[in-house]
Amino acid sequence: MTTPNTPVTLILHGAAGRMGQALLRAAPALRGVSIGAALVRAGSDLVDTPVRRIAGPDAADLDFQAALDPDVRADALIDFSSAHAFDAALALALDRRIAFVSGTTGLTDAQHAALAHAAHAIPVLWASNFSLGIALMTRFARMAARALGDWDCEIIEMHHRRKADAPSGTAITLGKAVAQGRSCALDAQAVHGRQGLVGARPPGQIGFHAVRGGDVVGEHTVMFASEDERIELTHRASDRDVFARGALVAAQRLAHAPPKSYAMDDVLGDCD
Ligand SMILES: NC(=O)C1=CN([C@@H]2O[C@H](COP(=O)(O)OP(=O)(O)OC[C@H]3O[C@@H](n4cnc5c(N)ncnc54)[C@H](OP(=O)(O)O)[C@@H]3O)[C@@H](O)[C@H]2O)C=CC1
Ligand SMILES: O=C(O)C1=N[C@H](C(=O)O)C[C@H](O)C1
User: Rounded to an integer, what distance in angstroms lies between the CA atom of residue 53 and that of residue 49?
Assistant: 7
- ipTM of predicted assembly, 2 dp: 0.99
Return the H-helix or E-strand segment holding 21. Answer: helix 18-26
Q: Whole-model pTM?
A: 0.97
For the segment 158-171, what is each residue's pLDDT rounded down to a tens digit? 999 999 999 999 99
From the list 62, 44, 64, 52, the residue with the least C-alpha distance to 25 is 52
User: Does the Cβ of 102 fall within 6 Å of ligand 1?
Assistant: no
Check residue 41 and give its pLDDT.
97
User: Rounded to an integer, what distance in angstroms lies between the CA atom of residue 237 and that of residue 246?
Assistant: 13
CATH 3.40.50.720 assigned to domain 8-130+240-268? The reply is yes
64 vs 5: which has the higher pLDDT = 64
Gap from CA of 107 to ligand 1 centroid (Å): 12
For the segment 133-152, what is each residue's pLDDT rounded down to a tens digit? 999 999 999 999 999 989 99
Gap from CA of 14 to ligand 1 centroid (Å): 5
Check residue 96 and give its pLDDT.
97
Check residue 165 and give its pLDDT.
98
Check residue 268 and give its pLDDT.
83
- Mean per-residue pLDDT, 74-103: 98
Instruction: State the binding site for NAD(+).
Output: 14-19, 103-105, 127-130
CATH of 132-237, one of 3.10.129.10, 3.20.20.70, 3.30.360.10, 2.60.120.10: 3.30.360.10
Q: Is 159 a catalytic residue?
A: yes
Domain ranges of the chain: 8-130+240-268, 132-237
Query: SS3 for 42?
Result: coil
Check residue 231 and give its pLDDT.
98
Strands 123-126 and 206-212: unpaired
Which residue out of 13, 159, 209, 235 is catalytically annotated? 159
Instruction: Give, using CA atoms, the residue closest to atom 5 of ligand 2.
Output: 168
CA 49 → CA 38, 44, 52, 61, 210, distances in Å?
Answer: 10, 10, 9, 11, 36
CA 45 → CA 7, 49, 65, 182, 210, distances in Å?
Answer: 32, 8, 10, 49, 32
Q: Do domains 8-130+240-268 and 132-237 have the same CATH topology?
A: no
